[in-house]
Amino acid sequence: MSENPVERTDGKPVEVGVWDYFYVIYKWRKFILINVFVLTFVAVIVALLLPVQYKATATVIAPQRSDIFGGLGGVITQSIREFAPFLRGLGGNQPPLFTYLAILNSRTAMEKVVERFNLIKVYDIKDSSMEKAIKKLRGNTDFEIDENGVLVINVYDEDKKRAADMANYFVEVLNEINIRLNTEEARNRRLLIERRYLQNLADLKSAEDTLKKFQQKYGIYYLPEQTKAAVTAAAELEAQIIAEEVKLGILRRQLGEDAPEVKLAKIQIEEMRKRLNQMKEGNDKIKDEMSLFVPFKDVPELGLQYLRLYRDYEIQSKLLEFILPLYEQAKIEEQRDVPVVQVLDRAVPPEKKARPFRTLIVVSVFASAFLFLTLLVLIIEFIISVFETKKITESKLLDVTKKIKSIYRVY
C-alpha cells in the first residue's frame, strides 16, 4: 500500500501490489518483532512452568477362542459340533478388544482407579468432586487398538512409578470387570439352556409314556423288526401248508379218502390255514397268543401311529443329546473365574518425560504470533488508507463547491 493510494493523473485509485504488502510489514517491523518476542518469551516461561509428565504403557491382546465343546470329548457327535460357531454367537459377536475399550472407558473402571490411587488428592481437587477427578484422569489416559490388533493402555502422570502402577492397575480392573461380565453372561446363558433342558426332559418323558402305552395296547415294540418277523413266519407257514398239501395228495392216492392218515393231514392243513388267516386278518386270540406279530391288515394304520410316536421320542432324545452337553458346559463357564485378559507387556516406570512438548509449544506460539501480528498491521494499514482516501475526497468536494459559489456570485 502506498502513502497516497488515490493520487493518479487519471483520477483512479492506485493498484496494490505484492511489494506494497512487504512495504507495510517493513514499516511495522519494530511493532511486529517486539510483540513476537514478548509473546514467545511468555510462551517459553509458561512451557518451563508446565509440570513434566511421564507415560507408562501396558499392552493387552485378545484371548484365543476356546471351543465350547473342547472339554466334552466324544460325548457329542460331529454334527452337533458344527453348531459351535452359532452357539458361541449367542453371547454376541463384538470383538473382545472393543469390549475391553468400553470397559476401560467406563465410569466404573475410572472410579476404581481414582479411589485406588487417591487421585482426588493427587490432582488437588478442591471440592473432592469425583466427576472432576474422573475428567482429569480421562485427560491423562489413552486407550487405543494399534494396527497389530493389540490394545495399548497409556497413562500419563507426574510420578513415573505411579504412572506404571496405574497402567497395570487398569489391566487388573479390566480383568476384574470382564470376569464379572462373563460370569453374568454365562449365568444368563445357563438359565436359558436350563429352561430348555428341563422342558426337553418333560417332553421326553411324555413321549416315552405315550409310546409305552401304545406298545402295551397293540403289542408293538419295534415295528420294522416285528413286521419283518411276521412276514417271515407267514412265508414259512405258507410253505409248510404247500408241503402238507403235497403230502396229502400222495396219501390220498396211496390210502384213499377215508384213511385216518388222510383225515389227520386234512385237519393239520386246516389248522395251519386258520393260523395263517389269523396272522393276516388278526383277532383277539392272535393278540393274546402271538403278541409279537402285528396283523398285516393293521400294519399301515398302526405303523403310521407308531412312526409318529417313535419320531417324537427320537426327536426328544436327540435334543437331550444336544442340550445336555451345552447345559453342563454353561455350568462350567458360570463357575470359571480365572483371568481372561492376556497381558502382552506390563507397564514399567518410563525413563524419559512424555509431555509437555516445550519446543513445539514455543515454535507454535512464535509462528502464530507472527502471522497474527502481520495480519493485524495489514488490517490497520488498510483502515488508515481508507480514512485518508475519505479526507482527500472531502477536500476536493469542498474546492468544487467553493468554485461553484464564486461563479454564482459573479452572475
The pLDDT tens digits of the residues spanning 271-315 come to 877 776 766 565 554 444 444 454 545 555 666 676 667 677 777
Q: What is the DSSP letter of 383?
A: H
Band of pLDDT at residue 89, cut at 50, 70 and 90: very low
218/284 Cα distance (integer angstroms): 11
> 53-199+339-353, which class in CATH?
alpha beta
Q: What is the DSSP letter of 12?
A: P
- Between these two residues, 332 and 130, which has the higher pLDDT value? 130
Band of pLDDT at residue 170, cut at 50, 70 and 90: very high
List, in order, residues 6 or more apart from 154 with CB less than 8 Å away: 55, 56, 57, 141, 142, 143, 144, 167
Find the mean pLDDT for residues 378-383.
82
Whether the CB-CB separation of 131 and 138 falls below 8 Å is answered with no
Whether the CB-CB separation of 167 and 154 falls below 8 Å is answered with yes
Find the mean pLDDT for residues 39-46.
86
Task: Give the pLDDT confidence score for residue 407 in this predicted structure.
Answer: 46
Task: Give the pLDDT confidence score for residue 75 in this predicted structure.
Answer: 45
The residue ranges of every structural domain in the chain are 53-199+339-353, 211-318
- Between these two residues, 218 and 359, which has the higher pLDDT value? 359
Whether 25 shows a pLDDT value over 90: the answer reads no
pLDDT in tens, 344-366: 889 898 878 867 677 887 888 88
Mean pLDDT score of the chain: 75
Whether 10 shows a pLDDT value over 60: the answer reads no
Band of pLDDT at residue 155, cut at 50, 70 and 90: very high
Q: What is the DSSP letter of 357?
A: -
| Residue the block writes with cell 468554485 | 403
pLDDT in tens, 184-203: 888 888 888 888 888 888 88
- Among 320, 298, 335, smallest CA distance to 80 is for 320
What pTM did the predictor assign? 0.55
Give the count of beta carbons closer than 10 Å to the beta carbon of residue 170. 26
- Between these two residues, 57 and 265, which has the higher pLDDT value? 57
Task: Give the pLDDT confidence score for residue 328 in this predicted structure.
Answer: 85
CB-count burial class (<10 Å; 0-12, 13-18, 19+) for 87: middle
